[in-house]
């Protein structure tokens, strides 16, 4: 994902239930990234660990010439921004996740906590980046998952683009009007945010137009978020990309596109039609 974004290309991802069978389904997909959904799905660190392993396709990694798995796994944690909850991020990163998606970020201090939770602490003067890290030190499983020595993992386990060599994405979701109003200050005062993902479901609820994603109020809110991100050179993400709207989404300036796979049953559908069962 970072490679695509650094080169000016869009990155493609999807949400997925944190279940091993689902991870297997996605392992051969052409997505750049996969976000395991633990906000509205159960948080189970042991199952998440299995999902990360089942997502690995060794042949794809070998042929790509990079140790990073494709799709690259991120985790959306259960807690809202105001709830902080660094421990969810700590456990996901310690298992090997390449980034954290933080729901409901509405204030500067919440965004600062989101970035800090994805970073290891450093002494003043040693670390040239702020905000200072809060992540606890238990890198063994993550370093093994990344295929690195512990010291090499430390060098890479920082947030991009704050650290140009970092390979962890700190993603914040803007899901209410307060978050939109505070987004300029968030992006001005908190370096290290890899991208801003719009939370359309919750935003539409607050605006009184639940799941009416093309309602004028929603269109206006999304446009404000994208404009703020563009002014500050931060990637904006769209969570509901389909074949019907993907061209429009790209034209509007989104560079992180989340598009869900669609299951189809052509044999079943044709068979029911031919046998009169419609």
pLDDT per residue as tens digits for the range 244-276? 999 999 999 999 999 999 889 999 999 999 999
Three-state SS string over 11-62 comes to EEEEEECCCHHHHHHHHCCCCCEEEEECCCCCCCHHHHHHHHHHHCCHHHHH
Which residue is it, tokens 């000016």?
8
Average pLDDT, the chain: 95
Closest among 11, 57, 59 to 35, alpha carbons compared:
11
Tell whether pTM > 0.85: yes
Tell me if 169 sits within 8 A of 2, measured CB to CB: yes
CA R_g for the chain:
19
The predicted structure's pLDDT at residue 127: 60
**What tens digit of pLDDT does each residue of 143-185 get?**
999 999 999 999 999 999 999 999 999 999 999 999 999 999 9
Name the pLDDT band for 77 (thresholds 50, 70, 90). Answer: very high
Higher pLDDT, 42 or 130: 42
Tell me if 105 sits within 8 A of 84, measured CB to CB: no
- The full set of domains in the chain, from first to last, is 2-274 (3.20.20.60)
**What tens digit of pLDDT does each residue of 111-124 get?**
999 999 999 997 66
Gap between the Cα atoms of 224 and 253, Å rounded: 12
The predicted structure's pLDDT at residue 227: 98
Q: Is the pLDDT of residue 128 over 70?
A: no
């Amino acid at each position: 994902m970072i490679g695509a974004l650094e080169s000016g290309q869009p990155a493609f991802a999807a949400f997925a239930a944190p279940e091993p069978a689902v991870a297997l389904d996605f392992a051969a997909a052409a997505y750049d990234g996969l976000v395991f959904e633990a906000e509205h799905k159960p948080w189970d660190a042991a199952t998440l660990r299995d999902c990360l392993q089942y997502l690995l396709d060794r042949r794809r990694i070998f042929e790509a010439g990079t140790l990073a798995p494709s799709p690259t796994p991120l985790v959306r944690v259960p807690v809202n921004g105001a709830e902080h909850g660094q421990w969810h991020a700590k456990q996901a990163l310690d298992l090997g996740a390449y980034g954290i998606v933080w729901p409901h970020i509405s204030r500067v201090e919440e965004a600062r906590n989101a970035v800090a939770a994805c970073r290891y602490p450093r002494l003043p003067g040693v670390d040239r980046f702020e905000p200072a890290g809060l992540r606890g030190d238990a890198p063994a499983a993550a370093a093994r998952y990344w295929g690195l020595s512990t010291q090499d993992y430390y060098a890479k386990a920082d947030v991009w683009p704050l650290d140009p060599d970092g390979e962890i994405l700190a993603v914040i979701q803007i899901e209410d009007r307060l978050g939109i109003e505070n987004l300029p200050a968030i992006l001005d005062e908190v370096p290290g945010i890899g991208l801003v993902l719009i939370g359309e479901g919750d935003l539409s609820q607050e605006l009184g137009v639940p799941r009416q994603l093309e309602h004028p109020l929603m269109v206006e809110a999304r446009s404000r978020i994208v404009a703020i991100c563009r002014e500050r050179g931060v990637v904006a993400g769209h969570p509901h990309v389909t074949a019907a709207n993907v061209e429009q989404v790209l034209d509007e300036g989104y560079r992180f596109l989340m598009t869900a796979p669609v299951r189809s049953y052509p044999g079943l559908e044709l068979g029911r039609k031919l046998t009169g069962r419609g």
